[in-house]
Amino acid sequence: MKEKKRKMQQKKIHYWSEGIECAGTLYLPDALSTAHKAPAVVLGHGTTYVKEMHLPHFAQTFVDAGLIALAIDYRYLGESQGEPRYKVDPREQAQDYSNAITWLEQQPEVDAEHIGVWGTSKSGGIVLQVAAFDRRVKAVVAQVPDISFWHYMANALPPEAIQTFLDLMQEERAHMSAGGTPRQIRFSAPSGEASIVGPDWLSWFEQAEREFPTYRNAITVRSIEYMATFDAGAFIHLIAPTPLLMILAEKDEFIPVPFNRAHFDRAGEPKRLFTYDGGHTASYDDPAMRKITAGVARDWFVQHLLCEGRAEQ
C-alpha cells in the first residue's frame, strides 16, 4: 500500500496512569473532523527510550494512511512524571499503554472502537501482554519483541556474568532495606562497569543522549529484576481473536529468532509473521528498513482498524 504524505498535526498531551502524569505526543491527520472519527494506535518505545526516538517516523506513516497515532513516554522516563527516575517495570508500562487507550477513547476525533497498539523491542513484548488482557485492543504489532529478557540474557551471557547480575540485585535489595535511595547503572557502559548492554553499544547510546535531550543512558538496578521476572509470552495464546503481526530481525543481536518464532506459533489466528534481513535496531536506525517495517505495520492497522471500521459504519 502506498500513501502520499499528509500534513500532520502534533499536540503535546498528558494523561494519568495509576496516579502518575504521563506525557505523549498526539499525531493527527490534518483537517480531521469529529464528524469523521479515525482509528488510533498507541506507540511505545523500548526499555528506557523516549517518544522522540524514531517514533515520529512510524507515526507519520500511520497518519499518512488516515490513522491517529499517540506516542507515549512511560512513567519515570522522558517528559513523564514519577520517581525514581529511569525505573523500568514492564508491568507498569503495560498499564501505561492501557491508560493511554482510555485517554484516546475520550477524544472526539478518535474512533474508540478501533484502537491498536504498536511496540518495539521491550515494548514489542509489552504489547503482547496488553493485547492478551485488554480487549479494547483491536490490532497489535510487535516489532523485534523482547518476550523474555531473562531467557535472552541466560543464553547470551556466561554464567559468571549472570551471577554478577544476581549479586547486584541482592545488593540493591539490602541497600534499599537499609533506607537507601534507588541506585542507577548505565544501560550501556565501558568494559568492567555493570550494564544491561555491553560496551559495543556504548557509542549508540551516547549518540542517543546527544540527539534526544530527554533521554538518559541510565536504568535503576531494581529494573533488572522487574524485567527478568516479566514473561510477555506467557499469555500469547490469549491474544486471539485480536489480529497479531510480529516483525522479526533475521540478524537480531539480542533476541534468538527461533525462540520468538516458537512463541508466534503458539498464538492464535489471525496472525502474520514478517521477517527482515537486518539487525535488532535496523527497523528504526536504517531509513530503508524503517520504511519497510513501518509500511508493513501500517498495512496491518489499515486492514484491521481502518477498513474494518469503515465496513461497520
Q: What is the pTM of this model?
A: 0.94
What is the average per-residue pLDDT within 245-252?
96
pLDDT one-digit tens code per residue, 161-173: 788 888 988 999 9
Per-residue model confidence (pLDDT) at position 200: 84
**Fold for the domain defined by 8-148+231-312:** Rossmann fold (3.40.50)
User: Residue 2 pLDDT more than 90?
Assistant: no
4-9 mean pLDDT: 74
Q: What pLDDT, on a 0 to 100 scale, did the predictor assign at position 193?
A: 85
pLDDT of residue 164: 84
- For 184-193, the CB contacts below 8 A with 24+ separation are 184/86, 184/218, 184/219, 184/220, 184/221, 185/218, 185/219, 185/221, 186/217, 186/218, 186/219, 187/47, 187/48, 187/217, 187/218, 187/219, 188/217
Beta bridge partners, 68, equal 40
Task: Give pLDDT, residue 153.
Answer: 79
Can you give the pLDDT at residue 161?
Answer: 79
> Please, are residues 215 and 205 in contact by the beta-carbon 8 Å criterion?
no
Quick one: pLDDT at residue 194? 80
pLDDT score at 154? 79
Q: For residue range 69-126, what is the model confidence (pLDDT) as tens digits?
A: 999 999 999 999 999 999 999 999 999 999 999 999 999 999 999 999 999 999 999 9
- Lowest mean pLDDT of 27-31, 208-212, 246-250, name the range: 27-31
Region 183-198: mean pLDDT is: 87
- 235 forms beta bridges with none
Confidence (pLDDT) at 311:
62
Say what the pLDDT of residue 150 is. Answer: 86
User: What does the domain layout of the chain look like in residue ranges?
Assistant: 8-148+231-312
The model's confidence at residue 34, banded by pLDDT at 50, 70 and 90, is low
